[in-house]
């Protein structure tokens, strides 16, 4: 899968789980997610579909992509502890994640390779 933030392709290491498998199926038709800043450390957006979840208590770090409540994608540029399902990790330095995500709402698109 290819993930873009405001049109810029970012490198992602995707998890191997049921949630990502379902996300990959949805991405065949393309997914566009309008993300909103929340809490000063994350962007949150509605996927538009419910996908399987397997939440566990985790502490996130910049670049983490998680599923919240089965239908919300969260991308972190800071850290938080909560119950999420891991989807992947954007492989960029912390300062780049902050630059991309901390200055207003963004649009994330996910497509097939």
Q: What are the residue ranges spanned by the domains of the chain? A: 2-111
Are residues 40 and 29 in contact, defined by beta-carbon separation less than 8 angstroms?
no
Are residues 66 and 84 in contact, defined by beta-carbon separation less than 8 angstroms?
yes
Fold of 2-111: Cyclophilin (2.40.100)
- Tens-digit pLDDT profile for residues 66-113: 999 999 999 999 999 999 999 999 999 999 999 999 999 999 999 987
- Tens-digit pLDDT profile for residues 26-42: 999 999 999 999 999 99
Instruction: Return the SS3 of 23.
Output: helix
Nearest CA to 43 among 11, 93, 90?
90
* pTM check: above 0.95: yes
């Amino acid at each position: 899968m290819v993930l873009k933030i405001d049109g810029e392709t970012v490198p992602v290491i995707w998890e191997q789980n049921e949630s990502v498998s379902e996300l990959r199926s949805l991405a065949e038709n393309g997914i566009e997610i309008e993300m909103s800043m929340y809490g000063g450390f994350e962007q949150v957006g509605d996927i538009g579909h419910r996908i399987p979840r397997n939440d566990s208590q985790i502490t996130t770090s910049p670049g983490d992509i998680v599923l919240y409540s089965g239908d919300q994608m969260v991308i972190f540029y800071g850290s938080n502890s909560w119950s999420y399902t891991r989807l992947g990790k954007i492989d960029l330095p912390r300062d780049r994640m902050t630059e991309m995500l901390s200055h207003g709402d963004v649009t994330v698109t996910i497509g097939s390779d």
